[in-house]
Structure 1
Amino acid sequence: MEIGLISLADLTSDPRAGSVAPDEGIRRIVRLGQLAEQAGLDVFAVGEHHHPNYEVSSPAVVLAAVARATRRISLASATTLIGVLDPVRVYEGLPPSTRCPAAGPRSPSGAARSPNRSTCSDTT
C-alpha cells in the first residue's frame, strides 16, 4: 500500500495578504511536495484543471518543478482530462512505461472524464 497526498491546486486566498500571485501558488505546491517527501509519504500528485478557480492546467510542468526539488517521492498527475485535450498529444506525452520524463520512474499517470460537461464552458 502506498500513502500519498494530492494537491488539487485550487486557488485560495491568503487570509492576511488577500489574493495569492500565480507564481506563489506554484511555489506552495512545490513546497507541499517537499513536505510530503519529508513526512515519508510515498506519492505526491497534482490535479489538472481548466477553470479559473484552479492553479494548474499542466501537471507535468508543475511536477517537473517538484521533481527538481525532491529525490524519492513518486510524482503523479492526479488527472489528465482527456475530454479537453488532444488524445494524440496526451499519448505522446506519456512514454510507453507511462512515466514522466522529468521525474524518471517516479511518476505514474492517471486519467479522468469530468462528470460535468459544462466544466470548461464556464471559462470562456
Structure 2
Amino acid sequence: HSLMADMIETWPHLGRLFMLELAVDGAIQREWFHRLGRQDALGRMAHLLCELDARIAMAGLGNEDGFSLTMTQEDFADCLGLSSVHVNRTLAVLRSRGLACWRAGRVEIHDRAGLVALAGFDPNYLRPDAAPI
C-alpha cells in the first residue's frame, strides 16, 4: 500500500488513471454478477459479444462488421458458466437468427441492433466517454 501511495503522490495523473480503471473493473464485475443470475445462455452470450465489441471499439481495434477473437469455446463456457456444448448450441442460435457468427477466430456481427436488444446491452457501465482529468 505504501508503494502505491507513494506512486500516486508522485504521479497524480497515474493515480487518477488507476482509480478510473478500478471503477470500470468494478462496474464490469457488478454487471456480470447481475447477468449470470438473471439472463439465460442466449442473453449472456449476446451480452458478452456486445461487451467485447464495445471494448474492442473503444481501443480502436474493431470495425463495423466485427472483430478478431482468439478465445476458444471452452473460454466462452468459463466466462458464461456454461458447458462448451451449450456454447456451441447458443452460437448456432445467434447464427440462425442472423445476429452474429463466430468462425476462424473472427466474430462477425450481422445485426448489431438485434444483438444489443437481445442482450439488453447498455455500454454506459464501461464508461466509454470517461477520460481522467
Q: Same fold (TM over 0.5)?
A: no
Instruction: Name the one with the larger helix percent.
Output: 2
Higher relative contact order (CA 8 A, sep 6+): 2
Larger Rg: 2
Give the TM-score of the pair, scaled to structure 2. 0.28
Give the TM-score of the pair, scaled to structure 1. 0.30
